[in-house]
Structure 1
Amino acid sequence: MKKVILIPGVMTALIVFASCGAKNTKQAYDTITIQPSSIANTITATGTVEPIKQVEVGTQVSGIIAKIYVDYNSEVKNGQLIAEIDRSVLETELESSEANLNSSKAEHDYQTANYERIKGLYEKDLVSQSEYDQALNSWSKAVYAYTQAKSNYQKAERNIGYTWIYSPIDGVVLSRAVDEGQTVAAGFSTPTLFTIANDLRKMRVIADVDEADIGEVQEGQYVTFTVDAYPEDMFEGSVIQIRLLATTTSNVVTYEVVIDAPNEDLKLKPGLTAEVNIYILNKENIITVPLRALRFVPEGYTVPDSGSHVFVMNPDGTLSARAVSTGVSDGIYSEITYGLKQGEQVVSGLKAAGKLSAENGNGSSNDSSSSSSPFMPPRPGQGDNIRTK
Structure 2
Amino acid sequence: MLWGLILVLLAAGGYVALDLLRANGGNQNFRTMKVERGEISSAVTATGTVNPVTNVLVGSQISGTIKALYADFNSEVKEGQVIAQIDPAIFQAQVEQARASLLNAQANLLALQASLKNAEASLAKAEVAVTDTKRTYDRYRELLANKVIAQQVFDTAETNYQSALAQRDASKAQVEAVKAQVEQAKAQIEQARALLKVSETNLRYTTIRSPVNGIVISRNVDVGQTVAASLQAPTLFTIAKDLKAMQVDSNVSEADIGRIAVGQEATFTVDAYPEITFRGKVSEIRNAPITVQNVVTYDVVIQVENKDLKLKPGMTANVSILIAHKEGVLKVPNAALRFQPQSVKKEPPPSAKRKEPETTGGGQRPLDRLAKELNLTEEQKSKAEMIMASARQEIQEIRERSKPEEARTRIQSLIRQKIWSLLTEEQRRKWSEREASSQAEERRPATVWVLSKEGRPVAVDIVLGITDGTFSEVVRGDLKEGMEVIVEELSKKKGATPSVSSPPGMRGFGR
Do Structure 1 and Structure 2 share a fold, with TM-score over 0.5?
yes
Whether contact under 8 Å (2:76, 2:215) holds in the other structure is yes
Q: Which residue of 1 aligns with 2:42?
A: 40
Task: Give how far 1:311 is off.
Answer: 11
Structure 1 residues 116 and 327: alpha-carbon distance in aligned structure 2, compared to 1, 3 A threshold: farther
User: Matched residue pairs, number?
Assistant: 323
Unaligned runs of 5+ in 1: 1-26, 297-302, 314-321, 355-389
1:127 aligns with 2:169: yes
1:73 aligns with 2:74: yes
Whether contact under 8 Å (2:40, 2:467) holds in the other structure is no
Bigger CA drift: 86-95 or 245-254? Answer: 245-254
Structure 1 residues 346 and 116: alpha-carbon distance in aligned structure 2, compared to 1, 3 A threshold: farther
Whether contact under 8 Å (1:312, 1:344) holds in the other structure is no
5 Å-filtered alignment, 1:221-240, equals 221-240=264-283
- Whichever residue aligns with residue 40 of structure 1, its letter is S
- Whichever residue aligns with residue 61 of structure 1, its letter is I
- Residue-by-residue CA offset, 1:22-59 (whole Å, 9 max, x unaligned): xxxxx9995636433223232323x2211111111122
Using structure 1 for the length normalisation, give the TM-score.
0.67
CA distance in structure 1 between the partners assigned to 2:282 and 2:56 by the alignment: 23
CA distance in structure 2 between the partners assigned to 1:253 and 1:261 by the alignment: 25
Structure 1 residues 332 and 146: alpha-carbon distance in aligned structure 2, compared to 1, 3 A threshold: same
SS at match of 1:36: strand
Whether contact under 8 Å (2:42, 2:322) holds in the other structure is yes
Q: Which residue of 2 aligns with 1:374?
A: none
Which of the residues 159, 164, 171 maps onto 2:202?
Answer: 159
- Residue-by-residue CA offset, 1:4-33 (whole Å, 9 max, x unaligned): xxxxxxxxxxxxxxxxxxxxxxx9995636
Task: Give how far 1:260 is off.
Answer: 1.5
Task: Give how far 1:149 is off.
Answer: 0.4
1:215 aligns with 2:242: no
SS at match of 1:218: coil
Unaligned runs of 5+ in 2: 1-28, 128-164, 341-349, 355-444, 452-459, 492-511
SS at match of 1:96: helix
- Whichever residue aligns with residue 167 of structure 1, its letter is S
Which of the residues 339, 346, 351 maps onto 2:483?
Answer: 346
- Residue-by-residue CA offset, 1:182-222 (whole Å, 9 max, x unaligned): 22233231122211112222221112222222222211222
- Residue-by-residue CA offset, 1:310-358 (whole Å, 9 max, x unaligned): 9999xxxxxxxx99986444576443568999x943343499687xxxx
CA distance in structure 2 between the partners assigned to 1:247 and 1:323 by the alignment: 41
- Residue-by-residue CA offset, 1:224-268 (whole Å, 9 max, x unaligned): 223233333333222111111122222222221111232222222
Whether contact under 8 Å (1:42, 1:281) holds in the other structure is no
CA distance in structure 1 between the partners assigned to 2:268 and 2:487 by the alignment: 38
CA distance in structure 1 between the partners assigned to 2:316 and 2:450 by the alignment: 48
CA distance in structure 1 between the partners assigned to 2:254 and 2:487 by the alignment: 41
- Whichever residue aligns with residue 44 of structure 1, its letter is A
Whether contact under 8 Å (1:312, 1:345) holds in the other structure is no
Name which one, 1 or 2, has greater alpha-carbon Rg. 2
Q: Which residue of 2 aligns with 1:89?
A: 90
Structure 1 residues 133 and 252: alpha-carbon distance in aligned structure 2, compared to 1, 3 A threshold: farther
Whether contact under 8 Å (2:91, 2:203) holds in the other structure is yes
Structure 1 residues 312 and 179: alpha-carbon distance in aligned structure 2, compared to 1, 3 A threshold: closer
1:175 aligns with 2:312: no
CA distance in structure 1 between the partners assigned to 2:249 and 2:482 by the alignment: 45
5 Å-filtered alignment, 1:1-389, equals 30=32, 32=34, 34-45=36-47, 47-112=48-113, 114-115=115-116, 118=119, 121=123, 126-128=168-170, 130-290=173-333, 327-329=465-467, 333-336=471-474, 344-349=481-486
SS at match of 1:189: coil
CA distance in structure 2 between the partners assigned to 1:220 and 1:138 by the alignment: 70
Q: Which residue of 2 aligns with 1:7?
A: none
CA distance in structure 2 between the partners assigned to 1:351 and 1:110 by the alignment: 107
Task: Give how far 1:156 is off.
Answer: 1.7
CA distance in structure 2 between the partners assigned to 1:351 and 1:272 by the alignment: 40
Structure 1 residues 288 and 112: alpha-carbon distance in aligned structure 2, compared to 1, 3 A threshold: farther
SS at match of 1:212: coil
CA distance in structure 2 between the partners assigned to 1:68 and 1:28 by the alignment: 72
Whether contact under 8 Å (1:76, 1:170) holds in the other structure is yes
% same residue:
39
Structure 1 residues 325 and 56: alpha-carbon distance in aligned structure 2, compared to 1, 3 A threshold: closer
- Whichever residue aligns with residue 335 of structure 1, its letter is E
Task: Give how far 1:60 is off.
Answer: 2.2
Task: Answer 1 or 2: which has greater strand percent.
Answer: 1
CA distance in structure 2 between the partners assigned to 1:79 and 1:349 by the alignment: 69
Structure 1 residues 332 and 175: alpha-carbon distance in aligned structure 2, compared to 1, 3 A threshold: closer
Whether contact under 8 Å (1:206, 1:258) holds in the other structure is yes
Whether contact under 8 Å (2:41, 2:323) holds in the other structure is no
Whether contact under 8 Å (1:222, 1:278) holds in the other structure is yes
Whether contact under 8 Å (1:39, 1:281) holds in the other structure is yes
Structure 1 residues 85 and 29: alpha-carbon distance in aligned structure 2, compared to 1, 3 A threshold: closer
Whether contact under 8 Å (2:245, 2:306) holds in the other structure is yes
Structure 1 residues 68 and 333: alpha-carbon distance in aligned structure 2, compared to 1, 3 A threshold: closer
Using structure 2 for the length normalisation, give the TM-score.
0.53
Aligned-residue Cα RMSD (Å) equals 4.3
Structure 1 residues 308 and 259: alpha-carbon distance in aligned structure 2, compared to 1, 3 A threshold: closer
CA distance in structure 1 between the partners assigned to 2:30 and 2:90 by the alignment: 95
Bigger CA drift: 52-61 or 105-114? Answer: 105-114
Bigger CA drift: 118-127 or 168-177? Answer: 118-127
SS at match of 1:127: helix
- Whichever residue aligns with residue 211 of structure 2, its letter is P
